[in-house]
A and B are shown apart, each in its own frame.
Chain A
């Protein structure tokens, strides 16, 4: 799986509900950790990540 595809999958998961990075990781047990780091970086560069009051990640409304 490429980082860009995984970043889309992460965005979809965060679109469902806010999650901590750990909760996101637990959803991605099938993916190599380094690919997760790469995808997370790609997702951050899209400038779409936001946080809720508890510090969990979410996708900001456009």
Chain B
């Protein structure tokens, strides 16, 4: 059996990697305290609410790896291997998430300590929900969508971007029918990581989660709709996306790229039931870096695959945090002549990558000083920088000036690759690093 979110909390606590705050906390301050903490936080008492709150599990590479129980360097490779070994989810009779069931007039979202995250957000947001919907032939679709609190039984949902859920909703909307969905909050990090991944058509994100776990994700039938939810989640919201189209105000929202997204018109999620454990823990996902890091493993897996397909001998791959773990990639390789440029072309062919930097295997790509050193001393800008104009882009990047686009027109961007490998024709001896004398023989503690 695979571990649950609660098991992760226990493990992190045992390892000293969880900050438990026992004092009474005002829910207004949840966001700020998660930002200021040096590790994930468990708020044991939140004033006016019966639920605990936990957040900050994916704030950086170290915390993401710890939450997953993986090592930092294997995020991409382990995700790729797990995703290949899919294990279908298993429907179970009952789950702890249905220990408490509230339906009808008892539905009250104000029982959840839904926090306001950023100053210009349109309201409090449920940010860590895994949304599950059924597609054709009851195929399972899972994704992570933000839900803006509206009232005791309504939230907004951002469905502006093209997604499987949007396609399912459009099909129902055309028939003037609601789309039933479940929202599981407080799930194992592997499940939220998998749900955030855009799986290929026909592949269930929960089957990928099963592959990463090496065991099926348990699902339980919802109490008011014919859709499953994660059986050992902390909280599940059951309900329907109303067939009203993109009509209600939603946002602005401090997004994964670290900037605010606009006020949008979006559909509404009507909640028909709230189910939860007796002592439920509400999870919050803090923008921007928690959301960004959730995509890091999948992006790194894509880069590994692209480089291997291009015949590049890859040593390591890392996304950079400042690029929302998506737009900028560093790779180290064992280079053959011309291999630096080939690697750049392979990385820049990926749709989301805007900047790529390739270094030799002697450079630690997780050390910014070493990367900067290679970029400074192994690069001649007129020979080692590639610029590709007119490539696919995303609206969220202000530098593509999305506001100047006509309706329906897609943005384009210039991509840049920097080959910071030792240039052809320069002997590696010129890059020999200094080594200080007797460093292997002398111990500082002997003199303290």
- A residues in contact (CB < 8 Å) with B: 20-22, 25, 32-35, 37-38, 40-42, 44-45, 49, 51, 54-55
Question: CB within 8 Å of A: which of B97-118?
Answer: 109-110, 113-114, 116, 118
Once bound together, how far apart are the Cα atoms of A53 and B150, in whole Å? 20
Q: Which residues of B contact A40 (CB under 8 A)?
A: 123, 149, 151
Q: Write the nearest CB–CB distance from B327 to chain A, whole angstroms.
A: 25
Q: B432 contacts which chain A residues (CB < 8 A)?
A: none
Does B26 sit within 8 A of A, measured CB to CB?
yes
How many A-B pairs fall under 8 Å by CB? Answer: 61
Most buried by B among A21, A42, A45: A21
Once the chains bind, are B120 and A34 in contact (CB under 8 Å)? no
Q: Chain B residues with Cβ under 8 A from A32's Cβ?
A: 47-48
Q: Indicate if B186 sits at the interface (CB-CB under 8 A).
A: no
Q: Is the CB of B49 within 8 A of A22?
A: no
The prevalent SS among residues of A at the interface is helix
Size class of the B contact interface (CB-based, 8 Å): 20 to 34
Determine the chain B residues whose CB is within 8 A of the CB of A42 once the complex forms. Answer: 151
Q: With an 8 A cutoff between CB atoms, is B121 at the interface?
A: yes
Interface centre among A20, A25, A54 (most CB of B within 10 A): A20
Known: A33-B28, A37-B110, A41-B151. A55 touches B120 (CB 8 A): yes
A32 to B28, alpha carbons, bound, how many Å?
9
Within 8 Å by CB of A55, from B48, B49, B151, B252, lies B252
CB pair B48–A33 under 8 Å, yes or no, is: yes
B124 at interface by CB-CB < 8 Å: yes
Nearest B residue (CB) for A28:
B28
User: B119 an interface residue at 8 Å Cβ cutoff?
Assistant: yes
Interface string of B242-257 (1 = CB under 8 A from A): 0000000101100000
Apart from A20-B119, A33-B26, what are 13 other A-B pairs with CB-CB below 8 Å?
A21-B122, A22-B116, A22-B120, A34-B27, A38-B110, A40-B149, A44-B151, A44-B154, A49-B249, A51-B249, A55-B120, A55-B122, A55-B251
Closest Cβ of chain A to B440, distance in Å, is 55
CB distance from A2 to the nearest CB of B (A): 13
B262 at the interface (CB under 8 A from A): yes
Judge whether B263 is part of the interface by a CB distance below 8 angstroms.
Answer: yes
Q: How far is the CB of A41 from chain B (nearest CB, A)?
A: 3
B124 touching A37, Cβ below 8 Å: yes
- Does B78 make an interface contact (CB < 8 A)? no
Would you list the 10 A-B pairs with minimal beta carbon distance, nearest first? A41-B151, A55-B263, A34-B48, A33-B27, A37-B110, A55-B252, A22-B119, A32-B48, A21-B123, A41-B152
Query: Across the two chains, which residue of chain A brings its CB closest to B121?
Result: A21
A40–B123 Cα distance when bound, in Å, is 9
Report the bound CA distance from A20 to B110 in whole Å: 20
Q: How many angstroms between the C-alpha atoms of A45 and B109 in the bound complex?
A: 14
CB pair B110–A25 under 8 Å, yes or no, is no
Q: Would you give the shortest CB distance from B157 to chain A, in whole angstroms?
A: 15
For residue B102, give the distance in angstroms from its CB to the closest CB of chain A.
16
Min CB gap B185→A, angstroms: 16
B47 & A33 in contact (Cβ 8 Å cutoff): yes
Nearest residue, chain A, Cβ from B149: A37
Minimum distance in angstroms from A21 CB to a CB of chain B: 5
Question: In the complex, A20→B249 CA distance in Å?
Answer: 13
Cβ contacts A to B, 27 pairs, < 8 Å:
A20-B119, A20-B121, A21-B122, A22-B118, A22-B119, A22-B120, A25-B28, A32-B47, A32-B48, A33-B27, A33-B28, A33-B47, A33-B48, A33-B113, A35-B48, A37-B110, A37-B124, A38-B152, A40-B123, A41-B109, A41-B152, A42-B151, A44-B154, A45-B151, A51-B249, A55-B251, A55-B252
